Amino acid sequence: MSLKIDFASRLTEALHKANNIYSKENGTVTVSNKKIEPKKPIFLELTYDNGETRKIGVIHLVHLKGDDWEDTPAETLAKTADEISQAILARIKLFFEAEKKGFYIDEHGTIFDFRDVNVEIHEDNTFSINKKIVSLPDKKTPSNLAY
């Protein structure tokens, strides 16, 4: 008999716990996913009183362990509400530490540390990392990459 877990309720409980610990004056942690799927990333945002939101990265509702986690039932891999809450708080901390250190943070909240990497911006909307060219089709090169 398989254990049935309500992942949406577990996430709601974890958000409540995290928001009770995290200072409301720094925003409220919310989720931008339209649908909660246990093995898909959960996209976190900070929502401020003025309505502004900032994407701060992702967490997962299950443990992504082993070579066969994709074939293992989500209920077997499920994190507890406390584990999810701790993951949320850890992501918030990581986000703000990265911001203070001047790391590049993309529009999804993904953090990149380009400080010790040779990044060169080119006129043709490409850049190179350690002399390997990366293309950004139809996008403007982020200005904070050029430091």
The predicted-structure confidence for 51-68, as pLDDT tens digits, reads as follows: 899 999 999 999 988 788
Range of the domain at 11: 7-102
Q: Which two tokens stand for residue 4?
A: 């049935």
Q: Which residue has the higher pLDDT, 27 or 81?
A: 81
**Are both 93 and 120 inside the same structural domain?**
no
Q: Are residues 96 and 130 in the same domain?
A: no
- Average confidence (pLDDT) over 7-33: 90
98 and 122 belong to one structural domain: no
Which pLDDT score is estimated for 70? 86
Confidence check: pLDDT of 1 > 70:
no
Q: Distance between CA atoms of 2 and 13, rounded to whole angstroms?
A: 22
The number of folded domains in the chain is 2
Q: In the structure, what pLDDT confidence band is assigned to residue 137 with cuts at 50, 70 and 90?
A: low
| AA letter at 110 | T
Helix, strand, coil content of the chain in percent (nearest 5): 35, 25, 45
Q: Are 89 and 133 in the same domain?
A: no
Identify the CA nearest to 7 among candidates 106, 95, 78, 113: 78
Residue 132 lies in a domain: yes
Same domain flag for 122 and 67:
no
Which tokens go with 94?
């990581």
- 68 and 41 within one domain: yes
pLDDT recorded at residue 2: 55
Cβ proximity of 75 and 58 under 8 Å: no
Helices marked H in the chain: 7-21, 74-77, 81-100
The bridge status of strand 53-59 relative to strand 42-47 is: antiparallel
With respect to residue 147, please indicate whether it lies within any of the assigned structural domains: no
Are residues 40 and 91 located together in one domain of the fold? yes
